[in-house]
Amino acid sequence: MNLFELITKEPTLKRYLIKCSQSLDFYHKEKNVYPPKSLAFNALKKVQIKDLKVVIIGQDPYHQQGQANGLAFSVNSGVKIPKSLINIFKEIESNFNITMKKDGDLSYLAKQGVLLWNVFLSVADSKPLSHANLTYLEFTNELIKFIDLNFDNVIFLLWGKKAQEIENLLVNSHVLKSSHPSPLSCYRGFKGCEHFKKTNALLKSFKKTEINWGN
């Protein structure tokens, strides 16, 4: 069972999920809204509940055509890799002394139990944060609290001030914090944070399978 299927069985989360679906229906009446509505909950559908180990919080989807695929920081194969993701790949390379492929699709991480979650589920073309909807935020908060309460030893990677706002919702989970990987803030703490190596060390201590961060 994946996370999306689990949520549909939880009354409170399901109620917020329905509200989010209604917001998506409303926004997709506009032209050029990303990602496609069918991929809005892709991050939840890609992670099996038995595998969930890590949560990475993004803000809203990429806002150019063909980029967003429903996974935070991820783009479809063949799409130019955004600068934030380039910096993420550089950090992975530094942590494990490997070379990343020039492919920005992070589905391989979702399949290993990494939830790549954007707080806001849609965006208008070329207008970042244009759909900063309270309904999306409420759903995210309930989702985070549900994961924290019902899953053991989940690791949250919180990059930047916006992502770190959810820390006060966490009681049982483990948190690693740094600046955002964007070019403007990468050098304020993300570069050299070793979050990927540290995450694997924590997973090993929990006797869980480590993440293969290389693509």
> Longest Cα pair distance anywhere in the chain, in angstroms?
48
Whole-angstrom Cα distance, residue 210 to residue 141?
A: 27
Both tokens of 85, joined, read 């993701």
Nearest to 156 by CA among 178, 180, 137, 174: 174
Structural contact between residues 121 and 136, judged by C-beta atoms closer than 8 angstroms = yes
Which listed residue (51, 60, 125, 152) is catalytic?
A: 60
Q: Is 125 an annotated catalytic residue?
A: no
DSSP SS3 for 190? coil
Structural contact between residues 10 and 146, judged by C-beta atoms closer than 8 angstroms = yes
Sheet holding 174-178, edge to edge: 114-118, 54-58, 155-159, 174-178
Catalytic residues: 60
